[in-house]
Amino acid sequence: MNAALVIAAKDLRQRLRDRSAIVLGFVAPVLVAALMSFAFSSVEAFHADVAFVDNDHGQIAVALRTALTSPELSDVLTIESVATEQQARQLVDDGDAGAGLVVPAGFSAAAVGDEPIGLTVLGSPDSPLEAQVAKAVADAYVAQLNADRLSVHAALAAGVPAGRTAELAKAVAGLRLPESVEARATGYRQLTTASYYAPAMGIMFVLFAIGFTAHSFFAEQRGGTLERISAAPIGRGGVLLGKSLAAFAYSVASLTSLAVVSTLAFDAQWGPPIPAAALILAMSAALVALTALVITVSRTERQADGIAMMITFTLLLLGGNFVLISQAPELLRKLALLTPNGWALRGFTDLATGAAATTVLLPVLVILGMSALVGLLAGVIGRWRAAS
């Protein structure tokens, strides 16, 4: 064991002397995590500017505008009144408004009329979400209005004097949208982009270290260093253990330093220290297993570089390191659970949103299970090659 520790210390010293290893493990993750966080920070909060055109000027139209400008919707919608539909279309086309809502003439009279009437929603391909929100609001209000219209007709059919039609219309005008917003604590925090992309980018650069470690192994083999070490009373197992410990320590140091820096600089949430450390250790174990697999299946430095690159980018694309996995297609969300980094991001996301520390138990166990399977496969391949 002492020999393995000596080899691990030697490998770590070599890495710390290599500027590329310092940049890869400690500088680049912070810079890229900051860049990704700032680039996608706009998705954390939604707000839509809606151009509102009132061609009716009746009680129902006024009630609609009052509902849209209510305090409950002020954090989501900003209503700008314009005179004509053409002006509203121009604002939407220019990007000054995310959507437009046009109230047609006769809209209020439709509350007691025989025929239903709808609202016109203006949208832009550049702001599809704003148009969907405006359409949802319009659909909900028109549905409520049509229900009220039927209620008026039912009242008249039941014998209410026709002279009270104006009174019924006034009552309908006083109605509000059927939805209501009530602030209530859920016990969870909103997931910020910094809290997602900090661990995502850290894991990405840790996975890049697979190729770096495998390349250095074959470089030492080519230079005869491994043969000289193996000639000592250490054994091949001690050599591999030492190099595995070096890769493990490098990964833990890289992710831990990123966690500290991103928490202090970008207010990223990694969760409580103990469960976050468990995920870091489990992901570092996966790195060791994947590195061992690359070394055992490769015969040259070039092969190791190519195989490591394929494994790394496959894991990154499937695991959700480049996109918020919660917003990805369902197929990608399922495929992410076949990767250790996908499970690690799931655990970090749970911790960042305030879930209980015990929720990381499953991700940690799955990652360790994957690491054991990959390590076993690497061992079988290594013994087969040694015997052939």
Mind listing the pLDDT tens digit for each residue in 44-63?
A: 566 788 999 999 988 778 88
Residue 368 has pLDDT above 90, yes or no: yes
d(C-alpha 39, C-alpha 27), whole Å = 19
Quote the pLDDT of residue 68.
Answer: 84
Contact between residue 386 and residue 235 where contact means Cβ atoms under 8 Å apart: no
Residue 269 has pLDDT above 60, yes or no: yes
> Position 384: which residue type?
W
Quote the pLDDT of residue 177.
Answer: 47
User: Going by C-beta distance under 8 Å and a sequence separation of 6 or more, which residues neighbour residue 83?
Assistant: 53
The pTM of this model reads: 0.68
> What b/e sequence results for 194-218 when a residue is b if at least 16 CB atoms lie within 10 Å of its CB, and e otherwise?
bbbbbbbbbbbbbbbbbbbbbbbbb
Contact between residue 211 and residue 308 where contact means Cβ atoms under 8 Å apart: yes
As given in the structure block, the two tokens for residue 166 are 């104006």
Rounded to an integer, the average pLDDT of 314-330 is 88
**Ordered domains of the chain (ranges, CATH):** 3-41+192-387 (no CATH), 47-174 (3.40.1710.10)
- pLDDT 10s digits, 215-254: 877 877 776 665 665 555 555 556 667 777 888 999 999 9
Residue 311 has pLDDT above 80, yes or no: yes
d(C-alpha 81, C-alpha 88), whole Å = 9
Residue 316 has pLDDT above 90, yes or no: yes
Task: Please choose, from the candidates 134, 132, 156, 136, the residue with its C-alpha nearest in 3D space to the C-alpha of residue 144.
Answer: 136
d(C-alpha 134, C-alpha 76), whole Å = 11
- pLDDT 10s digits, 76-131: 788 999 999 999 999 999 888 989 999 998 887 776 666 667 789 998 887 787 88
d(C-alpha 379, C-alpha 127), whole Å = 53
d(C-alpha 39, C-alpha 305), whole Å = 31
Quote the pLDDT of residue 72.
Answer: 74
What sign does the dihedral 341-252-262-212 (CA atoms) show?
negative
